[in-house]
Amino acid sequence: MVIAIIGVLIALLLPAVQAAREAARRMQCSNNMKQLGIGFHNYHDVFDTFPAQRGYLRGGGQLWGAFFQVLPFLEQQTAYDSIKTSPGSSGTIVANPGPDLASIVFLGEFSVPSFCCPSDPTSRQKNTQTGTNGPLYKTSMRLSTADIVLNNHDNGGWGHFTEGQWRARAPFIEFTWHSTASFLDGTSNTIMASESVTSTELYSDRTIKGGIAFESSIYGGSNDIDPSKCLAVRDPGDQNLIVSSKYDTTKGSWRGGRIIDARPAMTGFNTVLPPNSPNCYRADVGSWGFYSVSSQHTGGVNSVFGDGSCRFISETINCGNLNTTYKPREYFNTASPFGVWGALGSLNGGEIAVP
């Protein structure tokens, strides 16, 4: 009888202990996000701009991103200097727009606590790649590319919208250093960074939060984007997985797999699908796609805004009508069609959105 009572008490106590531990992890994650926001503002105090989504050359790949630029402002000057002067480095390192960008070998033998969420254990691990891509530490932090889905990393051609529209839309975009003056909707109304669960492996993660589905139909031609096609990649038999037919093991799908890789597939997100939604490419590892925020917290994600404040965004946040198609050229000079979530992403939509 006594043993039975003890067993019942333990069964009642364990969930409470686990909940308390997760609450502590969520608070630490929020603090890490806050530190990242402070780092962005310290950078702004020095250069009068925030970092660019990507602003450095890795050979011809141009993949170096804001997480590298902000290192000195997160008490990581040693890591910054060691990367800048690593074997194979050449060219001129610039921290703001300039005539020369660095051409350096990708080096990432460092871990930054502010780039990790304690509830996401794989974010504190190294990836399993070799050569210049690894093994490198991963990250659960992501940068906002607003509601940009087409070419949200590589400008390519401007057939679907003008370069000016594209560069002015998102807090983080390639080779564009925004100041607080660019936040026409207000810094407190614009999200800068959030979190996303890191992939476990490059080719084998089919989880909704950590994996990426390869779904070409998210782009329907005539510059249409279709959010519903990405939402539909959940496996009906297990809502936590990508349906096997939409998961291509020949293509890399590593969310957060390289700590300072600037591609949105690695370290970005867009404010279209709600938190804890699937991630989808339209092709190989690259730029066009729906990249969602996600976490192991219950019900949403931690996020930092342009004013440095950290808030929790619910997975039930309004995202507009996700069951229709959209043409980016038709909304890039106006309010986001993706509800409150889209409004929080855009710098200049004219919306006043409160999560």
Coil, strand or helix: which one is 28? helix
Q: What is the predicted pLDDT for the residue at 134? A: 67
Q: Which residue has the higher pLDDT, 281 or 13?
A: 281
Q: Which residue has the higher pLDDT, 125 or 91?
A: 125
pLDDT reading at 228 higher than 80: yes
CA distance 213 to 206: 8
CA distance 203 to 116: 22
**Neighbour count for residue 295 (Cβ, 10 Å):** 25
CA distance 193 to 241: 25
Q: What is the predicted pLDDT for the residue at 27? A: 86
114-164 per-position pLDDT tens digit? 788 998 888 777 777 776 666 777 889 999 999 988 765 555 444 445 566
CA distance 314 to 281: 24
174-227 per-position pLDDT tens digit? 778 899 999 999 999 999 999 999 988 877 789 999 999 988 888 877 668 899
DSSP code of residue 57: B
Please tell me the chain's helix, strand, coil percentages from 3-state DSSP, rounded to the nearest 5: 30, 15, 55
**pTM of the complete model:** 0.85
Share of the chain above pLDDT 70, in %: 73
* Average pLDDT rounded to a whole number, residues 306-330: 92
Q: Which of 114-123, 256-265, 316-325 has the lowest mean pLDDT?
A: 256-265
Q: What is the predicted pLDDT for the residue at 40? A: 93
Q: What is the predicted pLDDT for the residue at 10? A: 59
DSSP 221-280: STT-B-HHHHHTTEETTEEEEE-GGG--TTS---TT-STTB-SHHHHEE-SSSPTT---E
One-letter amino acid identity for 241? L
Q: Which of 203-217, 226-240, 253-267, 290-304 has the lowest mean pLDDT?
A: 253-267
Q: Where are the domains of the chain?
A: 2-47+108-345
